[in-house]
Amino acid sequence: MATPDVYKPAGTPDPFSSKMVNSPRINPSSKETQESLKRSFAKYLAADHGSPAVGKLFNPSKHLQYEEPTHIHTMEDIGFAASKGVSPVAVSEPFRLFSEEAVNIMREEIFDPEVQEKYSYTSDISPRQLRGYAPKHGKFIFEAWKHPETLALVSKIAGVELVPVMDYEIGHINLSVPGSKRDANMDDEAIVGWHRDSYPFVCVLMMSDTTNMIGGETALRTGTGEIRKVRGPSKGCAVVLQGRYIDHQALRAFGGQERVTMVTSFRPRSPRIRDDTVLKTVRPISNLSDLYGQAVEYQLENAESRIRQMLKNVRDSMKAGATDVQAIKSFLDFEIKTLSHLDKEIVDESLVKKGCLAEVCVEANDPKRHKTGE
């Protein structure tokens, strides 16, 4: 089997400098908080957030404003083995990615009434999310994340060549509307509870003005079980996180500010790199026909690529009179495990509890997993 196509790590980062914080509760998004936020959405979403983004096209020379992140933290920096994920990179510091104009156009697309009505989801760990609206109702967003220049920048930071995992996962939106003044006795409270992502990497883009925002950071659980905060990005800035392998949560923002973040999920471009994708964090908040169809499509395309390469290798070895049995066995073992894993992720719709992600939070708070770094 060929070795993975991986970029070299982006230098040796400085030690992780984020401040330690107390470990939040297992279910940080309380029922009262969730219900209060849901009631606020009706008023907030009824406000005028700009004119429709009809006919506006993504132009990288105009809409990309990339600035290098100050640090890129490795998996080893936060207590994990470098080989735990698909890249030695764990998380970046916030970096500028898109221009103010680009983000404003994206906001126009996501605040379109049809998007809010047809593509809105809620769950027991997040009160409001938008999914699956691109490219039909988010052409600019779709083009921005699919553009080769954008992909090159995200891949450079991640340390491995990436592509959006599938169209359905482009531009996932987490919404937190203006909150009340922070209570001095209130613990850090999450707007999205503890979890690991379904896919290897995410790029989290801030779409709100954070000038007067208090909170809004991302909390990470290290391989030793400690909790660290990563500074939240400002509007137009982003963070790249290998979220499939690190427990994390988005903390609430206080000070009367909205918190709108866009999360686009990525996977390695190479079909030869292992795919640990799971769908348990997205099944309850997805159109399963679209989710399953696109997940199976890209997995079969990857399998097809591997099979074609292996077929060529077998034919070449037959011509040389030296069939490599061990290589064939390794290939078959990999394909069987990969397809068996995919089969387990395609759960019958009747067994999926819509909006129910509490089990994900419970799993993320398993003390045994914290001690072992699993």
> Per-residue pLDDT tens for 33-74?
445 545 554 455 545 555 555 668 999 999 999 999 999 999
pLDDT in the model for residue 370: 54
Q: What residue segments make up the domains of the chain, in order of their start?
A: 31-287
CATH number of the structural domain 31-287: 2.60.120.620
pLDDT for 143-183, tens place per residue?
999 999 999 999 999 999 999 999 999 999 998 776 544 44
Q: Which residue has the tokens 């203006």?
A: 178
Average pLDDT over residues 262-266: 98
The residue type of 248 is: H
pLDDT in the model for residue 259: 83
Is 301 buried (19+), middle (13-18) or exposed (0-12) by CB count in 10 A?
A: exposed
Closest CA to 193 of 278, 281, 120, 283: 281
Query: Residue 31: pLDDT above 80?
Result: no
pLDDT in the model for residue 8: 35
Round the average pLDDT of the chain to a whole number and report it: 84
pLDDT in the model for residue 213: 83
Closest CA to 220 of 187, 254, 243, 198: 243
pLDDT in the model for residue 12: 34
Q: How many CA atoms lie within 13 A of 68 on its CB side?
A: 7
pLDDT in the model for residue 364: 62
Average pLDDT over residues 224-231: 91
Query: Residue 13: pLDDT above 50?
Result: no
How many other C-beta atoms can be found within 10 angstroms of the C-beta atom of residue 147?
16
> Is the omega angle on the peptide bond into residue 233 within 30 degrees of 0, that is, cis?
no
DSSP-assigned letter for residue 285: G
The SS3 of residue 239 is strand
How many other C-beta atoms can be found within 10 angstroms of the C-beta atom of residue 219?
21
In percent, the amount of the chain with pLDDT more than 70 equals 76
What lies within 8 Å, CB to CB, of 149 at 6+ separation is 60, 64
pLDDT in the model for residue 162: 98
Q: Judge contact between 151 and 163, C-beta under 8 A.
A: yes
Q: Which residue has the tokens 């990309």?
A: 64
Closest CA to 140 of 198, 207, 239, 93: 207
In percent, the amount of the chain with pLDDT more than 90 equals 65
pLDDT in the model for residue 5: 40
CA-to-CA separations, 372 to 75, 214, 275, 366, in angstroms, rounded: 14, 33, 22, 10
pLDDT in the model for residue 127: 79
